[in-house]
Amino acid sequence: MASMSRRHLVQGAAVLAGAALAPACSSSGKAGGDAGSPAFDPEAARRGRLKQSLTDWPYVKHLGGMDGLCKTARDLGCVSVELCGPKDWPTLRKYGLVCAITGSHGFVKGFNDPANHEMCVAKIREAADACAANPGICPNVITFTGFRNGIPDDVGKKNCVNGLKKVISYCEEKKVNLCLEMLNSRVAEDMKGHPGYQGDHMDYCIDIVRQVGSPRMKVLFDFYHVQVMDGDLLVRLRQYMPYVGHIHTAGVPGRCEIGPNQEINYRPLFQALADLKYDGYVGHEFVPTRDALDGLKEAVALATV
């Protein structure tokens, strides 16, 4: 075999490097257009075994405000628009939707620092009150560990457990779940990663939930964040299913669409959720890199099992 010159090797490496740096999630394909991709069918989605939801923040500006987002969710076969507050719930009701999970305090200041406990508890109680005052509209409230800011992980965990115990009985009384979200700390890009966040591994968050020890205390299992930090998604999902209160989706890398141009194989994950009798919601939370509606159709089709 003739030996390759150094120039050819360098040129070949450059081509491969350029391909590797191409946007992993960009695609012009339509939902169901690729070989092997499920076809989009809103009626099938509505009848499917998973209850699908759209998060508000990535899509509301692309789809004509809250009215447009709610109409889109309904037309796609979804049953929820989430992470919106009580002021938007009348619009959700107009379109026959619920809010799968609502906000409370932010992710920077959380329960890992006792100085934040009073604020976090007040925000969660306020959200729980709103859920209770609007029966059937919202079953879950989100919560966070907060950023480390020099707090050791073992101390932060203990502080989270102590702080969450201050409010979980109130959530039990109001019949709402409190969902602790794990976020990745690797990606230093706004809303795609959160360097410094303390609850950046699923095992860590699960341990907090176990120690709080309430059936109303759950984790928010975000496939994107867990893949970035821990991987092993199917095994972790099956292992921790009793503690999962909510699901989020997005593609890796880039928190993009969840189709074939990223590394997570979503179809088996959705099938596993259905087979495990998961009765919560699946919230799509990717950041659009192309037409938002096209990406959402693709996501809804994938999650229709």
pLDDT for res 157: 99
Taking the model in full, what pTM does it have?
A: 0.90
Token pair recorded at residue 80: 């929820």
pLDDT for res 80: 99
pLDDT for res 13: 38
pLDDT for res 38: 87
Least confident of 1-5, 86-90, 231-235: 1-5
Q: Kindly state the average pLDDT of the residues 107-125.
A: 99
Average pLDDT, rounded, for the chain:
92
pLDDT for res 279: 97
In the chain, CATH 3.20.20.150 sits at: 101-219
**40 confidence band (pLDDT: 50, 70, 90):** very high
Give the tens place of pLDDT for each residue, 266-289. Answer: 999 999 999 999 999 999 999 999
Topology of 101-219 in CATH? TIM Barrel (3.20.20)
* CB of 245 closer than 8 Å to CB of 140: yes
One-letter amino acid at 202 equals M
Q: Is 281 exposed, middle or buried (0-12, 13-18, 19+ CB in 10 A)?
A: buried
